[in-house]
Amino acid sequence: MKTKKNLVLAIAIFGGMLFTVQAANIIDLDGQTTTQIDKKQKIKIPRGN
């Protein structure tokens, strides 16, 4: 009985690791995010009246 519990626990941990890796690969944006600043866009500052 103890061996069966250890096997189920090992399979659950391994499955969780596989799920985490797959989710991280899906979320990967493949370079869609950049850290560059767009200097063409002007910032509009509202005037306080």
Reported as a single tens digit per residue, the pLDDT across 10-28 is: 999 998 888 887 777 666 5
pLDDT reported for residue 6: 92
Distance CA 24, CA 1 (A): 35
Collapsing DSSP to helix, strand or coil, 37 comes out as: coil
pTM: 0.46
First to last CA, the chain: 77
Q: What are phi and psi of 26, to 5 degrees?
A: -70, -40
pLDDT reported for residue 41: 67
User: Nearest-5° angle of CA 31, CA 14, CA 10?
Assistant: 165
